[in-house]
Amino acid sequence: MTLNALRQTAEAMVTPGQGLLAMDESTPTIGKRLKAVGVDNTEDNRVAYRTILLATPGLGDHISGAILYDETIRQSTTDGETFPALMQRQGIMPGIKVDTGAKELALNAGEKVTEGLDGLRERLEEYVGFGAKFCKWRAVITIDEDKPSRACIEANAHALARYAALCQEAGLVPIVEPEVLINGAHMIETSYEVTVETQRQVFEQLYRQGVQFEGMILKPSMVISGTDCPQRAGVEQVAEETLRCLQQTVPAALPGIAFLSGGQSDEQATQHLNAMNQMATKLSLPWRLTFSYARALQNQVLETWRGDASKAEQASQALLHRAKLNSLASIGEYTPEMER
């Protein structure tokens, strides 16, 4: 695929007023979320739940693409239609998570490096056959007294860059996700410093691996105080520090940035995105700022459904409502009154 084609796909992923639905939870992870609402982690239940998500009428008006798990891209809905075919009907591009998870980093206790490069070229060819248009790889960076180490940042940045290069070789747009975890008691100033250093290293490695910035999407953390911080920053400060971080680290050639929600509440994730887009208009930033949320879109869906088929339509409406609010936030037109 040419760079122009990659650019077109990347730009479509961040179409104004649209974002991404992250529904790429592994089987154990989705099992934890199902268990929390009293639902068994069976394949039938996973298919039923994911059918609710992707079959939601009108979802394609607010969601440009959805990130799937390996199991999901191979499955069919409860009505027998393949998930990629359903997504095509909905106007939603199929994406796929291709990393195999974060594992302990040797000689660095408490830090992780994401694996999955072995055999990736062949897996990407298979996913193209299933209709995938883009991929995702997540790295995890922990903040603590002596963390992150330079070794952790560099190892993850290198892996992200090698993954991204393979994706573009296969004609797939890579979503590059260096997540700085929100866990901890750190102040927003520490979050800023770690996020800047992480993103600088990531883009340095992307450049060295020959990745074309015009044909990729960044999925970063927002610059935010740790969950246990006694003085947590407000919405405006989070927006200001996050945009300042982007200005320090992200090349202008990038089509867009799709933020992860990273442990925030549904409302917080929407409020922060909205504040950033309102500020971005005044700053004339070169990238589109949107969302790639998982739990911040799915929480209310699971709570509503709880495995009850009679609640499927109501659960779909919960997803559509949340998607609409984040769609408005992605163009700076959300207000808290809309939550009611």
Q: With a cut of 80, say whether residue 162 has pLDDT above it.
A: yes
Structural domain range at position 93: 3-330
pLDDT digit string, tens, across residues 299-313 = 999 999 999 999 999
pLDDT, average across residues 60-73: 98
Range name among 53-62, 189-198, 279-288 with the lowest pLDDT average: 279-288
Q: Map the chain to HEC letters.
A: CCHHHHHHHHHHHCCCCCEEEECCCCHHHHHHHHHHCCCCCCHHHHHHHHHHHHCCCCHHHCEEEEEECHHHHCCECCCCCEHHHHHHHHCCEEEEECCCCEEECCCCCCCEEECCCCCHHHHHHHHHHHCCCEEEEEEEECCECCECCHHHHHHHHHHHHHHHHHHHHCCCEEEEEEEECCCCCCCHHHHHHHHHHHHHHHHHHHHHCCCCHHHCEECCCCCCCCCCCCCCCCHHHHHHHHHHHHHHHCCCCCCEEEECCCCCCHHHHHHHHHHHHHHHHHHCCCCEEEEEECHHHHHHHHHHHCCCHHHHHHHHHHHHHHHHHHHHHCCCCCCHHHHC
Residue 109 pLDDT: 86
Let me know: does 260 contact 177? Beta carbons within 8 Å.
yes
Residue 89 pLDDT: 97
Domain total in the chain: 1
pLDDT digit string, tens, across residues 276-328 = 999 998 999 999 999 999 999 999 999 999 999 999 999 999 999 999 999 99
Task: Please state the separation of Cα 155 from the chain's center in Å.
Answer: 21
Band of pLDDT at residue 1, cut at 50, 70 and 90? low
Residue 114 lies inside a defined structural domain of this protein: yes
Band of pLDDT at residue 69, cut at 50, 70 and 90? very high
pLDDT, average across residues 202-217: 98
Q: pTM above the 0.95 mark?
A: yes
What burial class does residue 40 get, using C-beta atoms within 10 Å of its C-beta: 0-12 exposed, 13-18 middle, 19+ buried?
A: exposed
Residue 245 lies inside a defined structural domain of this protein: yes
Residue 337 lies inside a defined structural domain of this protein: no
Q: With a cut of 70, say whether residue 252 has pLDDT above it.
A: yes
Pairing of strands 256-259, 173-180: unpaired
Residue 39 lies inside a defined structural domain of this protein: yes
pLDDT digit string, tens, across residues 263-273 = 899 999 999 99
Let me know: does 175 contact 135? Beta carbons within 8 Å.
yes
pLDDT digit string, tens, across residues 101-156 = 999 999 888 999 999 999 999 999 999 999 999 999 999 999 998 999 999 999 99
Residue type, 312: A
For residue 128, what is the domain's CATH number? 3.20.20.70
Residue type, 264: Q
Residue 340 lies inside a defined structural domain of this protein: no
Residue 304 lies inside a defined structural domain of this protein: yes
Residue 260 lies inside a defined structural domain of this protein: yes
Residue 339 lies inside a defined structural domain of this protein: no
Name the residues annotated as catalytic: 177, 219
